[in-house]
A and B are shown apart, each in its own frame.
Chain A
């Protein structure tokens, strides 16, 4: 069924924020095609009458009391940051806008 093109792989890489190389595009296109072919088998038994399972345990309503718990200090929060400034995470300029 699937016949995934190089362009499609490039689109996926863009969605997934991976700056893949041209060489990778070729390798991944072949491999994804092969894997998707193999996994498409799930369609054979997935009839409309079968409900999907999203969770391995049938729990519901797990809530936390609305009580403050100590978190991290600003120093701890920023300790792993590639760059920080004025108590904030410093990141390269953001294009586009908030959603």
Chain B
């Protein structure tokens, strides 16, 4: 085991050094198929069932670009205010690794599809920081290895490994920032805010699932420190395995404190890959590269260049959604929210979901209460982010609609939502299969009312005598008899009708 690293007090780090950040985000596109073959692009599944000669790297197989993935890449580039290349190629990045079927990654090298952009990132206090984007380029994902023997799933001490290539060839967009300087003490917060803004933007564009927990959005954080008053960047480390937004912030802060201690102690930082450890918030060194890797890039001869016409680029620009932060500003005004209310919505991750639910036809109030209350509880119970709950704003809007039309009671509606979350399908399907429709047939209800009145003749008498509020007991009995599937308001009406009150 490596010794526990020494850390410098954060305030001291800030006092003595200026941090420089660089963030590399890999985004898996949510296309139907992979980047270069027609295999399904799905998360999980039985191993090696979404593979073909091309993504298995079989001899003789060839790649053909997924046009939709190129379209998404251009749209992402545009959303990040990038220039879109007039002409660019794929290259082969050559290195051997068992999870990469061809032993080269088909990626873009010196000719990215998008370059020189920026993203305006809102911080918690409302301040906006501009993060410059170096490039966004297309590439393919690798397969997945399972290490058997030794400590579970860990590479060290494993006896052998098992490979599944379902993920091999899934389209990726790699988004690289320019060095972020001048962040000072807010560096960790800016790192998190940038990844958050990027995630929200990509989600609004509907180009990726952006699930950090499933790896469809992955962030590598490059951190270095330079002594105050100097302007030459220090040696950086690249921290991988950062699997949540909170981890982005923690990883950056940890590395800053570690670098500070090393540098203050007269040591030097080794340029290396480090792995973030969720359990204790520390980073551990990966393999140090004795010699710089020589990837022997060259233009991919099996693919022809991409030369997007300006008309196509402009057409795609027209498909960009309203950026989430602008939409938030708009809804704040439209719904008359205070700044604090909006921030609460944003911080709980509900703002965009509520807005999307409103866009899907729901009233803002209903949408808010569903996301902020019931669905937030569900997300907490499952320990996932609100947006990662397996329910869409459109589905929530449909549930709200069913309640409004009287087809569901609130209680039934929650059950329907549970069904959707459990993967039972669309709200209407859940209503059908779970048999959750409100009993609105008066004949069936009347039978239940008559039975309830007969069972409690004293209460019936009270109502008849004018004590209308006593009807509550009968309503309860009827609801119990119909397993909650009756509309309580209608039941009450029927009771009053029956006793002639």
Report A-B touching, CB under 8 Å: yes
* A74 lies within 8 A of B46 (CB): yes
Q: B433: which A residues are within 8 A, CB to CB? A: none
* Contact in complex: A69, B87 (CB < 8 Å): no
Which of the segments A2-10, A36-44, A60-68 contacts the partner chain? A60-68
One digit per residue, 1 when the CB lies within 8 angstroms of any chain A CB and 0 when it does not, for chain B 160-184 equals: 1111110000000000000000000
Q: Is B145's beta carbon under 8 Å from chain A?
A: yes
| Chain A minimum-CB-distance residue to B300 | A54
Contact B287 A88 (CB under 8 A): no
A72 lies within 8 A of B56 (CB):
yes
Find out whether the CB atom of B46 lies under 8 angstroms from the CB atom of A87: yes
Residues of A within 8 A of B51 (CB): 71-72, 77
For residue B211, CB closer than 8 A to chain A, the reply is no
Residues of A in contact with B, size category: 35 or more
Given contacts A63-B66, A88-B164, 9 further A-B contacts (CB under 8 A): A62-B303, A64-B67, A67-B33, A68-B32, A68-B40, A69-B39, A71-B52, A74-B49, A89-B162
CA distance A89 to B39 in the complex (A): 18
A89 to B305, CA, bound (A): 34
Dominant secondary structure of chain A at its interface with chain B: loop
Residue A21 CB within 8 A of the other chain:
no
**Known contacts A91-B98, A94-B161; is A67 also within 8 Å of B32 by CB?**
yes
| Among B38, B87, B89, B161, contact of A93 (Cβ-Cβ < 8 Å) | B161
- Expressed in whole angstroms, the Cα–Cα distance for A80 and B47 within the complex equals 16
Number of B positions contacting A (CB below 8 A): 61
Q: Are A87 and B47 in contact (CB under 8 A)?
A: yes
Whether, in the assembled complex, A51 has its beta carbon less than 8 Å from a beta carbon of chain B, the answer is no
If A17-B96, A60-B87, A72-B56 touch, whether A85 touches B64 (CB-CB below 8 Å) is no
> CA separation between A68 and B39, bound complex, in Å?
6
Complex Cα spacing A59 to B52, Å = 25
In whole angstroms, what is the CA distance A15 to B146 when docked?
A: 25
Query: Measuring CB to CB, which residues of chain A are less than 8 angstroms from any residue of chain B?
Result: 15, 17, 54-55, 57, 59-74, 77-78, 85-99
| Interchain CB contact under 8 A, A97 and B155 | yes
Q: Which of B99, B149, B304 has the most CB of A within 10 A?
A: B304
Shortest distance in angstroms between B173's beta carbon and chain A's nearest beta carbon? 15
In the complex the two chains form, what is the Cα distance from A59 to B142 in whole Å?
Answer: 28
- Taking a contact as CB atoms closer than 8 A, the residue among A17, A64, A66, A93 that contacts B159 in the complex is A93
Interchain CB contact under 8 A, A98 and B87: no
A68: contacting residue among B38, B162, B164, B275, CB under 8 A: B38
**Pairs across A and B, CB under 8 Å, 15 listed:** A55-B304, A60-B87, A64-B66, A64-B67, A67-B32, A71-B50, A71-B53, A77-B48, A77-B165, A87-B164, A89-B164, A94-B161, A97-B273, A97-B275, A98-B145
Q: Is B307 an interface residue (CB 8 A)?
A: yes
Across-interface contacts of A97 in B (CB, < 8 A): 155, 273, 275, 286-287
A15: nearest chain-B partner, CB-CB: B294
Q: How far apart sit A15 and B296, CA to CA, in the bound complex (Å)? A: 10
Whether B142 contacts A98 by the Cβ 8 Å rule is: yes
